[in-house]
A and B are shown apart, each in its own frame.
Chain A
Amino acid sequence: MHAFGAIARLAALETVRRPVCLLVTLATLAGTTLMPFFLHYTLGDAPRAVRDSALALLYTGGVLLAAWSAAEAVGGELRRGTAALALAKPVGRGAYLAGKACGVALALAGHAAASVAATLLAVRAGAVEWHTDWTAAGPALAVAPLALAWAAWRNRRHGRPFASAACGALWIGYPLALAVAACRAEPAGGAGFPGNLDWAIVPAGALAALPSLMAAAAAAALAVRLNTVATVSACAAVFSLGLVSGPLLGAHWDASFPARAACALLPDGQAFWLTDALDAGRGVPGGYLAGAVAYAALWAGACLALGVQAFRRSEIP
């Protein structure tokens, strides 16, 4: 357990230290924060458009970040030789691979939490047509510049890596900004806490973040044999096909065994997208969320199991 914990912790730290993590995080959060300003002219559909666009950014950004980070955490270390040094210690290959995937998933949890907070702020900021709620937009817009300034100060003063300091500041900053906005009622006598935020987005955001857990496991398994670019490409292909597997293959379900097999093996991306329930005002049921978590965990576990088998047969040059 010590070794598993140490490997997971180091994988999480290395993930947030990579510049690509900061780039994707910043792009996702900045895009979400600015969404209300881009979508002012939607003929009354702004809140839905902002919500769906932000959740889509969380979904795709999370999958991309997870795939890249896990590919580098495993494949990158195999190429650089640090994996050989770790595996020369009393560390099983299964513990090593699972530790890497869990460490990446842990780092992504921060990304997901910040994205959900940013989505809540963005939806409130653009809730009223032709109008920006600055009690939400202001704190949200302030987070990124303050986080980058903080990271620059930490780097200059204490020599800490800029990327990890900035990521950490963003992941903490957005929930803080949400807390600030939650404490302030909507303008013009609007609702106060908790009615001033659409909390139904939280389980929907958690649902949209689950594919990144699956992508981390899949990429960790693939990276045992493939390089980073091939791993990320394969993950992108698998998850893209998974998103359309229902409409594409569902019609052939009864007639074709390959179609049924593909539907069963590909990750069902639509199962993690429940914005229609939000439109109907119903929210995501707790039981459905629990089922989705179980599905994601089983699918990720199966990928890791296959990856461990491949890893045990791999030589570490």
Chain B
Amino acid sequence: MTAPPASPPAVRAEKLCKTFLDFWRRPRVEAVRGVDLEVPSGSVFALLGPNGSGKSTIVKMVLGLLFPTSGTLEVLGASPRSVEAKRRIGYLPEESRLYPQLTPRETLEFHARLFGLPRAVARRRIGELLAMTGLEHARDRAVGGFSKGMARRVGLAQALLNDPDLVLLDEPSSGLDPQGARQIKDLILALGARGKTVVLTSHLLADVEDVCSRIAIVFNGVLLAQGALDDLLERRDRTCLSFPTPEDPARLERAVGGVRRALGCEPEVMHPRQALEPYFLELVRRARTPGATGAVPSAPLAPYLAGGEKEKDP
């Protein structure tokens, strides 16, 4: 019995190059140089690199906003400029690019019409997204008066309107408070669990470690490393043991002595540290009272994003 064919990669780039030209058509900046990139379908993929390394340029080429100078690029099996392929893509840019005079509801209605969503489907999803992003109380306020974090939430909502198969998130946690950042991570994990492909760029390496299964590291337009996160980060020259701290310190001493005798080296003994994020979130959760101000998500995840309701295709 033959195995089912593997899904084609969501994004495939071969020897991708991008050189920006000046007014006289002379090469000015070589932003991407010979990048071979493959984002497997259904993976949560991080594109990492310092500022100016070419990450955003690659993302914009994937969206068809910039054109490769040379090399090939395929997105969901089609050209990046394919209008039909964009029906399955959601994009959150690094800067929230919203119309300041529109309210969140009007913004999402506009983007829903761009996707060609039926009115009933759009209305339902907009309601769910506003609840998920904690913007229900501000649904009819002009976005121009929002803080950066609230504008970011509107941007996130418009990126998810079409229940995309490929989600591109450029610095998704930028401007968000810790609860918002946690919500983004939970959202990414939920989308990944549903088989969606998520590509994110971020400077927050701890966040990337929490959610991504594969990464690529870019510097100066060159791809330095690419692969599964565990394979890249695992240090096979060291081994850790983790066990509950015994109440009797003498038992711990005996265990350490046993390891010392068996391996002929001095083991390093330390207590693991709790991460700041769960500590912070637990404190806030216990302290939260009704009527608290700010963005307060009322729903963990929009039902349609969690694969809840079955809807007619648009």
A interface residues (Cβ-Cβ under 8 A, vs B): 2-3, 5-7, 10, 13-14, 17, 80-82, 84-92, 159, 161, 315-317
The total number of A-B Cβ pairs within 8 Å is 69
A-B contact pairs, 15 of them (CB 8 A): A2-B116, A10-B110, A13-B101, A81-B95, A82-B97, A82-B98, A86-B114, A88-B89, A88-B91, A89-B111, A89-B114, A91-B83, A315-B65, A315-B66, A316-B60
A5 touches B113 (CB 8 A): yes
B99 touches A89 (CB 8 A): no
* B66 contact from A5, A7, A82, A316, Cβ within 8 A: A316
Interface size bracket, B side: 20 to 34
From residue 74 to 95 of chain B, which have CB atoms closer than 8 A to chain A? 83-84, 86-87, 89, 91, 93, 95
What CA separation (Å) do A88 and B86 show in the bound complex?
7
B114 touches A82 (CB 8 A): no
B interface residues (Cβ-Cβ under 8 A, vs A): 60, 63-67, 83-84, 86-87, 89, 91, 93, 95, 97-99, 101, 110-111, 113-116, 142, 158
B83 touches A6 (CB 8 A): no
B66 touches A81 (CB 8 A): no
Question: Which residue in chain B gives the minimum CB-CB distance to A92?
Answer: B83
Contacts of A161 in B (CB 8 A): 101
What CA separation (Å) do A158 and B176 show in the bound complex?
30
A10 touches B91 (CB 8 A): no
What CA separation (Å) do A88 and B95 show in the bound complex?
14
Min CB–CB distance B110 → chain A (angstroms): 6
Question: 9 tightest A-B contacts by CB?
Answer: A6-B113, A81-B97, A89-B114, A316-B65, A90-B87, A88-B91, A90-B86, A2-B116, A85-B97
Contacts of B67 in A (CB 8 A): 315
Contacts of A17 in B (CB 8 A): 101
Contacts of A85 in B (CB 8 A): 91, 93, 97-98, 158
What CA separation (Å) do A164 and B111 show in the bound complex?
22
Beyond known contacts A3-B114, A317-B60: 15 more, CB 8 A cutoff: A2-B114, A6-B113, A7-B114, A81-B95, A84-B97, A85-B97, A88-B63, A88-B64, A88-B89, A89-B86, A89-B114, A91-B83, A91-B86, A92-B83, A159-B142
What CA separation (Å) do A84 and B155 show in the bound complex?
13
Contacts of A6 in B (CB 8 A): 110, 113-114
Contacts of A82 in B (CB 8 A): 97-99
